[in-house]
Amino acid sequence: MIRIIAGGKKNTRWAESACQEYEKRLRKPYDIKWEFYDEERLLQRLSDWPFGPMRHYVICCDERGQNISSDEYSQRLQSAFMDGREVIVLIGGAYGFNDEIRMKADFVWSFSRLVFPHALARLIATEQIYRASEIAKGSHYHHQ
């Protein structure tokens, strides 16, 4: 399972509807569980950092991170699953994450050098998880 911990508002209907379209297609271990927090509570929750390095693979989405291909992202997820680690994807609110949180993550992932609104970042993350699952099973959804 992939746990996505997100800041910002959940109730953006168009984004929620689009994410659900991809989520319906996902199967273990790529299925998603969402946790939503307002900006302040998200940073408070993450400051305690309850994640164990051996049990979790933490991906922090941030425009200051590394830009990788969909194939590379799929490989990272597959590797974490093969190691028996739960994947946690962090999506910040309007102000993103501080250096402390980025430094604690296993991987800081940039979708692009562009900055996206929170709802669109959720959709991109969900689509890329779906794409990673399709790459892993060798489907024709992803092509080069």
Task: Give per-residue pLDDT as tens, 34-63.
Answer: 998 887 788 777 777 767 667 899 999 999
- Distance, in Å, from the CA atom of 57 to the CA atom of 53, rounded to the nearest integer, reads 7
The H or E element spanning position 31 is: none
Whether the predicted model's global pTM rises above the 0.75 cut: yes
Please answer whether residues 6 and 41 qualify as being in contact, where contact means their C-beta atoms are separated by less than 8 angstroms.
Answer: no
Count Cβ atoms below 10 Å from residue 105 Cβ, excluding itself: 22
What contacts 125, CB < 8 A, 6 or more positions away? 4, 61, 89, 91, 111
The answer as to whether 44 is a domain residue is yes
Confidence label for 130 from pLDDT (cuts 50, 70 and 90)? very high
The answer as to whether 73 is a domain residue is yes
Task: Give per-residue pLDDT as tens, 75-106.
Answer: 999 999 999 999 999 998 877 888 888 888 99
Q: Which structural domain range is residue 6 located in?
A: 2-48+60-137
Question: What was the pLDDT predicted at 53?
Answer: 66
The number of folded domains in the chain is 1
The answer as to whether 144 is a domain residue is no
CATH of the domain at 120: 3.40.1280.10
Give the C-alpha distances (Å, rounded to integers) separating 68 from 7, 11, 71, 77, 126: 23, 29, 8, 13, 16
> Is the pLDDT reported for residue 20 higher than 90?
yes
The answer as to whether 83 is a domain residue is yes
The answer as to whether 33 is a domain residue is yes
